[in-house]
Amino acid sequence: MQLTKFEHACFMVEQDGKSIIVDPGVWTTDIATPENVAAIVVTHEHPDHFDVTALGAIIAHNPEAVIFAHHDITQQLGDTLPHTSVAAGQTIEAAPFTLEFFGGDHATIHDSIPVVSNLGVLINNSVYYPGDSFATPNKPVTMLGLPVAAPWLKISEVINFATSVKASSVFPTHDAILSLNGKALVDRMITPYVESYGGTYHRPIGPLKIDG
């Protein structure tokens, strides 16, 4: 498999000539419309992860692709885009991808702000991304998409989550709100903790090969 990271929380995994895209939101401006997309996963309804215009553009070029998301999202799509509702604890096939879903709720931003549904996703038992949460997959994973900056987190929680999952490879996500200096800071802070258990932390510049 191969992983390509786009701006903010969006990334694409490719295998056997097919691809799956996760969270193409309004802050992801560097994703060209890819071909051969088998599936799209949307972890939750916040616009930095869920952009109907971006979804429509992808589906227009890939009419066989299916959007997988919580019912709270799919009910907003109506009959306009192909979709399937999924829930935490469910495993589905979108050949050549196996998708397993975890969690269920977005992390708390503030007690006064309602908590929306959120699903973490594990792709082919290798790549795990928790969406806007620290829901753990409770199983070994090869690569972790690690949220590093948001109104709902602090760096100690990021570090604790990374060291609990213990993925052999970790890359940062959810970082559009950071300046270049801010990205460099979190990278310096997180790296030694990932290395302490034998993992590697890196900010992707190009496609990454995934072994596992």
- Asked if 109 and 116 touch (Cβ cutoff 8 Å), the reply is no
In which order are the strands placed within the sheet that holds 208-209?
A: 83-85, 66-69, 37-42, 18-22, 11-15, 2-5, 208-209
Please tell me the predicted confidence (pLDDT) of residue 55: 96
Q: What is the CATH number of the domain that holds 121?
A: 3.60.15.10
Tell me the C-alpha distance between 37 and 43, whole Å. 17
Closest CA to 123 of 149, 98, 88: 98
From first to last of its 212 residues, the chain has per-residue pLDDT tens of 899 999 999 999 999 999 999 999 999 999 887 889 999 999 999 999 999 999 999 999 999 999 999 999 999 998 889 999 999 999 999 999 999 999 999 999 999 999 999 999 999 999 999 999 999 999 999 999 999 999 999 999 999 999 999 999 999 999 999 999 999 999 999 999 999 999 999 998 767 777 65
**Strands across the sheet containing 117-123:** 91-94, 97-105, 117-123, 127-129, 143-147, 169-173, 200-201
**HSE-up (13 A, CA, CB side) for residue 100:** 14
Give the integer Cα–Cα distance in Å for 52 and 118. 17
- Total of domains in the chain: 1
- Residue 65 φ/ψ, nearest 5 degrees: -70, 150
Which runs of consecutive H residues, i.e. helices, occur in 40-165?
Answer: 52-61, 71-77, 155-165
Pick from 106, 155, 110, 115: nearest CA to 134: 106
Q: Which domain holds residue 76?
A: 2-209
The whole-number pLDDT of residue 161 equals: 98
